[in-house]
């Protein structure tokens, strides 16, 4: 008992030094491409080691598995209906004002107020493009994607090295902190490698160029790969998979990969090797950042999170990439490390949702009192550090289709939000109800314990279970998140 008392006293004393935060999230990396999970033949030695030092939540999801909705939930701690980012920020959806609101109180705003230096490196994807459009490749199609984020919309990040959306991984473009809208620059380097270089510069902070050395820091590194295009990566990573044809063939034989007569079957076969290689590249760059954290003496007092904004089907189940409730799209990596504070372990009990990150992280860092009432996620800080928590019984799934939002025949935004996909994921089941604006409602129910590949839709066979999950799990989420979407069994 005495020893316990001393340990507690020790941890209280340490609390006076607020921890740093390093939040790294590549785009479109499904949970099954973490090597240590042994689900796909992917090489992630740095993530494997990192995972052995941290808490791995195997049941984390992206509640709205697509770019901007994830990012807005992560930043605001609120679900899409509340934060307004119900779909991607694009020029076409600009009239609906879909972007991260300037007055949204993000976790980064709170840390700024509490004396932190904040840095953001990489993809942002939270501002819609406006005229005159930035002259760059992602803005030359009918829909424009890329935009500059003005300083007043950066939510406390005082170091900025970012872009909104730009998918040329071998020649990415960035705006630096003081660059004006027309002053972006291109870099001849693979995006994740360049961003790791910048993260290392930020950590080294020579001559105080990047941040205030007397303040704790929070750094976000948002890498674009393994997002498509899958052919833009250094060849060295692809070569690492040259001897793995047999293992890759085994993956291709998985029941959810369509056969070669199907376009998505061809798509999967064409890209899987490169995608795994991209994950290996991301892993290597993440490893470099972790090494820097150690070399500069920050390892012990820095909370490190590794996650992703959503996964990637890569053609599995006939789906191109994301915006669907299959595990490939929905289930994301989530690993958090804080030496001596968070006990390394794997946990499948906590059904983590994206809005839970904000309160959990601020609570861990000692700012529980600063969490705004408007935040809809729950803090699991106590659970992360080994204590108890009331665990959620399900996670919300939310998708509104971009094209439906654009269709004037479907009425006002409010009416459009009464259609499309809602669902829940429990430890055992995934339920998704697709209320089509101009067609019959489709219902999908999978028992992931009995049917891990989600091949067998049980909705017709088990209507009572569908109704029970709707009433007991989905409806409370809809009410909690201010979502007026409803369904009734006919
Ligand atoms: Ca994304």
Residue 2 has pLDDT above 80, yes or no: no
Instruction: Examine the pLDDT at 342 and tell me if it is beyond 60.
Output: yes
Q: What is the per-residue pLDDT for 3?
A: 42
Reply yes or no on whether the pLDDT at 345 is more than 60. yes
Burial class (CB in 10 A: 0-12, 13-18, 19+), 332: buried
**CA 169 – ligand 1 centroid, Å:** 14
Q: How far is the CA of 14 from the centre of ligand 1 (A)?
A: 37
Q: What is the mean pLDDT of residues 207-212?
A: 97
Mean pLDDT of the chain: 95
Rounded to the nearest whole angstrom, what is the distance from the C-alpha of residue 324 to the centroid of ligand 1? 13
270 membership: H or E segment, kind and range = helix 263-295
Q: What is the pLDDT of residue 34?
A: 98
Residue of 3 and 33 predicted with greater confidence: 33
Å from CA of 377 to ligand 1 middle:
21
CA 258–ligand 1 middle distance (angstroms): 24
Whether the per-residue pLDDT at 26 is higher than 90: the answer is yes
The protein residues having their C-beta less than 5 angstroms from ligand 1 (an ion) are 27, 67, 309
pLDDT at position 489 is 87
CA 446 to ligand 1 center in whole angstroms: 25
Q: Name the percent of the chain lying above pLDDT 90.
A: 95
Q: How far is the CA of 72 from the centre of ligand 1 (A)?
A: 12
Ligand 1 centroid – CA 27 distance (Å): 5
C-alpha to C-alpha distance for 447 and 428, rounded to whole angstroms = 6
| Ligand 1 center to 310 CA (angstroms) | 6
CB 296 within 8 A of CB 203: yes
Answer yes or no: is pLDDT of 287 > 70: yes
Residue 398: enclosing H or E segment and its boundaries?
Answer: strand 395-399
Task: Say what the pLDDT of residue 367 is.
Answer: 98
By mean pLDDT, which of 10-24, 105-119, 303-317 is the weakest?
10-24
pLDDT of residue 224 exceeding 50? yes
Average pLDDT over residues 53-74: 98
Task: Determine the distance separating the centroid of ligand 1 and the alpha carbon of 263, expressed in angstroms.
Answer: 22
Cα(124) to centroid of ligand 1, in Å?
Answer: 10
Centre of ligand 1 from the C-alpha of residue 66, in Å: 5
What pLDDT was estimated at residue 15? 46
Tokens 């968070």 sit at which residue?
342
Instruction: Give yes or no for residue 200 having a pLDDT over 70.
Output: yes
Give the number of other CB atoms < 10 A from CB of residue 136: 17
Q: What is the pLDDT of residue 7?
A: 41
Instruction: Output the furthest CA–CA distance in the chain (Å, rounded).
Output: 71
Q: Are 435 and 424 in contact (CB under 8 A)?
A: no
Evaluate if residue 10 carries a pLDDT over 50.
no
- Rounded distance from Cα 184 to ligand 1 centre (Å): 21
Q: Please state the rounded mean pLDDT for residues 136-143.
A: 96
Using the predicted structure, report yes or no on whether residue 463 has a pLDDT greater than 90: yes
Q: pTM (2 decimals)?
A: 0.96
Quote the pLDDT of residue 16. 63
Ligand 1 centroid – CA 309 distance (Å): 6
């Amino acid at each position: 008992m005495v020893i316990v008392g001393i340990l507690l006293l020790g941890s209280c004393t340490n609390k006076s030094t607020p921890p740093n935060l390093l939040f790294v999230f590549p785009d479109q990396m499904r949970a099954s491409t973490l090597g240590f999970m042994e689900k796909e033949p992917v090489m992630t030695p740095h993530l494997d080691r990192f995972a052995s030092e941290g808490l791995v939540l195997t049941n984390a999801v992206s509640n709205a598995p697509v770019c901007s909705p994830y990012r807005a939930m992560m930043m605001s701690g609120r679900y899409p209906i509340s934060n307004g980012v119900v779909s991607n920020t694009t020029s076409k959806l600009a009239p609906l004002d879909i972007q991260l609101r300037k007055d949204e109180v993000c976790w980064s705003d709170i840390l700024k107020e509490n004396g932190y230096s904040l840095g953001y490196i990489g993809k942002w994807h939270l501002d819609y493009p406006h005229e005159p459009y930035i002259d760059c490749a992602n803005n030359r199609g009918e829909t424009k994607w890329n935009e500059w984020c003005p300083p007043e919309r950066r939510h406390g990040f005082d170091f900025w090295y970012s872009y909104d959306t730009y998918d040329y991984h071998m020649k990415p473009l960035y705006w630096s902190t003081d660059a004006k809208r027309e002053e972006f620059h291109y870099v001849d380097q693979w995006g994740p490698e360049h961003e790791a270089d910048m993260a290392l510069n930020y950590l080294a902070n020579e001559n105080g160029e990047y941040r205030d050395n007397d303040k704790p820091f929070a750094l976000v590194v948002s890498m674009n790969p393994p997002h498509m295009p899958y052919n833009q990566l250094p060849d060295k990573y692809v070569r690492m998979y040259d001897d793995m044809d047999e293992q890759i063939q085994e993956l291709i034989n998985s029941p959810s990969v369509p056969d070669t007569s199907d376009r998505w079957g061809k798509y999967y076969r064409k890209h899987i090797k490169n995608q795994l290689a991209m994950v290996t590249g991301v892993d290597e760059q993440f490893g470099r950042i972790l090494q820097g954290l150690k070399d500069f003496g920050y390892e012990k007092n820095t909370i490190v999170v590794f996650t992703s904004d959503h996964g990637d089907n890569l053609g599995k189940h006939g789906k191109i990439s994301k915006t669907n409730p299959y595990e490939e799209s929905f289930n994301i990596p989530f690993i958090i490390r804080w030496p001596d504070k968070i006990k390394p372990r794997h946990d499948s009990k906590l059904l983590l949702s994206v809005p839970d990150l904000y309160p959990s992280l601020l609570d861990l860092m000692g700012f529980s009192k600063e969490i705004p009432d408007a935040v809809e996620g729950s803090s699991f800080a106590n659970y992360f550090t080994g204590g108890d928590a009331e665990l959620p019984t399900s996670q919300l799934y939310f998708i509104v289709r971009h094209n439906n939002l654009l269709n004037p025949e479907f009425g006002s935004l409010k009416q459009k939000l009464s259609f499309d996909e809602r669902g829940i994921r429990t430890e055992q089941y995934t339920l998704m109800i697709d209320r089509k604006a101009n067609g019959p409602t489709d219902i999908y129910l999978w028992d992931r314990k009995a049917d891990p590949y989600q091949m067998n839709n049980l909705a017709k066979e088990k209507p009572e279970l569908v109704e029970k999950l709707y009433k007991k799990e989905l409806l409370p989420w809809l009410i909690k998140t201010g979502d007026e979407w409803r369904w009734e069994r006919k």
